[in-house]
Amino acid sequence: MRLARKILSQPEHLVAAGLLDHERLDEVKEVAREYALTLTPDLAELMHPADAHDPIVRQFIPTKAELEHSPDESSDPIGDEVHSALAGIVHRYPDRVLLTPVHVCAAYCRFCFRRQVVGRRRALSANQLRAALAYIRGQQEVWEVILSGGDPLVLSARRVAAIMQALAAVDHVRVIRVHTRVPVAAPRRINPELVRALRSSGKATYVVLHANHARELSNNARAACARLIDAGIPMLSQTVLLRGINDDAHTLGALMRILVETRIKPYYLHHPDLARGTAHWRTEIEQGQELMRTLRGRFSGLCQPTYVLDIPGGHGKSPIGPSYIKDMGQLNGNAQYEIEDYTGMRHIYPRGNCRPD
């Protein structure tokens, strides 16, 4: 649908744009008092509001289910605070640091694990950013800096370039990874100036696109990604497994294929975090594992993300995909493994069949 090209940031804006029934206005106002609401014109134009199952509508238009909080859910479901040395820094793993220069996004996903923070806090102050960069300079083991937030690509090209150049001056930082939704939510922001800013560090720079459904990869979004890739910036993807959005093999596989066709390597499939008000999005882990089994062998190896869960409490990500190997112990006097192929057939493989030193 074609809409006036303006940011929609109030429930009343959604009603005026035909994206929300007036009968639901009070419900969405209540949600918006607790969690940020912003929708870009590019996303709005992808929506089919008459379809109750539209995957773009469901990801970005609030529902009253977000107000239902379970005891297992948390305002900090992956333990950022445990590993936050100072404002803007999360140092969870020895060789990499998360730098969050801004807590604003182009649009707000209704399943966000930082939903208690994003849209409420703004950018780091100049002093906070200087302190965060000083921390990175002082941590010699840090090989990679991950820019996240919020979404770092909502910042101006000038500010992005300043951060990239500051990181360029840190010799032990060799890789910069930028996580973003902007090529999908606001593809026109990926202009030559912003691309130059991302390349300005001279470091190995990767951009990780967050996309959950093939329809998000519009022509404009794919063109935005091409501007980055053609400039020599490799792209990866991350996807959240969402009930009713991508929790079947056909839909998930279609997304992975269009990502690969766009020259983006699928990286992570995240099991949804235990963020407050997100229970209606979560599937069982066993369902995610079965999806990964279905993708394996039926879709190219390029289309295989790693299925991961971020352990609550700040313990980091662990792969939780299916296992295809089973130790069978001794069979007929020989140690054996049983290996499952992509069709479900099982095969015996001899254990300890390497040549001794």
Residues with a catalytic annotation lie at: 92-93, 96, 105, 109, 112, 114, 273, 310, 317
User: Rounded to whole angstroms, how far apart are CA atoms 154 and 166?
Assistant: 18
Q: Which residues pair with 347 in a beta bridge?
A: 339
Write phi, then psi, for 123 (nearest 5 degrees): -85, 160
Contact at 8 Å (CB) between 100 and 150?
A: yes
Burial 267-288 (b: 16+ CB within 10 A, else e): bbbbbbbbbbbbbbbbbeeeeb
Phi, psi of 231, deg, nearest 5: -85, 5
CA–CA separation, 147 and 149 (whole Å): 7
Instruction: State which amino acid sits at residue 212.
Output: N
Q: How far apart are CA 305 and CA 294, in angstroms?
A: 13
Q: Where are the beta strands (DSSP E) in 30-128?
A: 89-93, 96-99
**Long-range Cβ contacts of 13-18 (<8 Å, 24+ apart):** 13/39, 14/39, 14/61, 17/44, 18/49
Check if the beta carbon of residue 87 is closer than 8 Å to that of residue 128. Answer: yes
CA distance 121 to 132: 17
Place of tokens 């190995």: 204
Question: At which residue do the structure tokens 């379970």 appear?
Answer: 70
Q: Distance between CA atoms of 62 and 310, rounded to whole angstroms?
A: 24
Strands 316-319 and 334-340: unpaired
